Structure 1
Amino acid sequence: MSTTRKTESHGVPWETKYGYVQAVQHRDTIYISGQVAHDGSDLVAPAPTDADGRVTDTGNTAAQMRQCYANAARLLARFGASLEDVVDEVLYVVDIEAADAAAGPVRKEAYGRPDPQVASTMIGIPRLAFRELLVEIKLVARV
């Protein structure tokens, strides 16, 4: 591995199971893997699901978004960076309407300004890695 590359992880079981790290810094760019709502061991604000595993309520979208940004901020801090250094983000969501309603306030709160200076894309998808997840956020930061 090059000396210009550094990696970080949260230590959650799925990193080893799937085989990846949460963040890679290569030169002046930090690539953050899709962050989901967990506290290091358990999912945070999991969505309720029915007997078939389908989400029945997307009311926890904002809470999950907040946790995704908190997890990303924690990773960035390990590189001496912050959400202020983010230049691009992609939000993968299972309900576009719920995510659109939550994203404005949550993103402004996370970035600490009324006009986050970050390119942003939101993509609706049928489901995420865990059925109880409503959102996953991938980021790129420059330092």
Structure 2
Amino acid sequence: MRADGDYGRDPFGKAVQEAEYGDRISTPEDRQRLAPQIRQLAEQGYVIIPNALSPAQLDAIRAGLDDVNSGTGFARSAFLGEKTQRPYGLLGKTDSVWPLAAHPDVVAICEAHMEDQIQLSSLTAATLHPGQLAQTLHRDDGFYNLPDPHGPLS
């Protein structure tokens, strides 16, 4: 989280780290306000938050991703996209992506869906270059040895 506090309450700050185990970052009021989005996630498996980021934040994210991509090669398989750059671990590579990870509405929706102990394990991006076809819709759960269909893993 940047020191300017631009993203609301700091979900990774000292106050949160010192909070009792089990406390949520979001408030009941946050989750109540977002009840339609929480319901949509449960029913449809996705949610879109219109205008969640300002144009300036989007420009900063794009610039940060451009910087990271300048040192990222192309993927090495047809499935991942041979004309696609896929930087991993973005939170450690550019501060510009923090508004995505620490957005108060995203945190509240995640806490409502997964309950009190949320953890972001990875933040990645995919930049498709000219000539790259879109990847087929899929879940990133193939590395779990579970038969299909199966329920949510988190």
In which range does the TM-score fall when normalised by the shorter chain? under 0.3
The structure with the larger Rg is: 2
TM-score, length basis structure 2: 0.24
Higher fraction of helix = 2
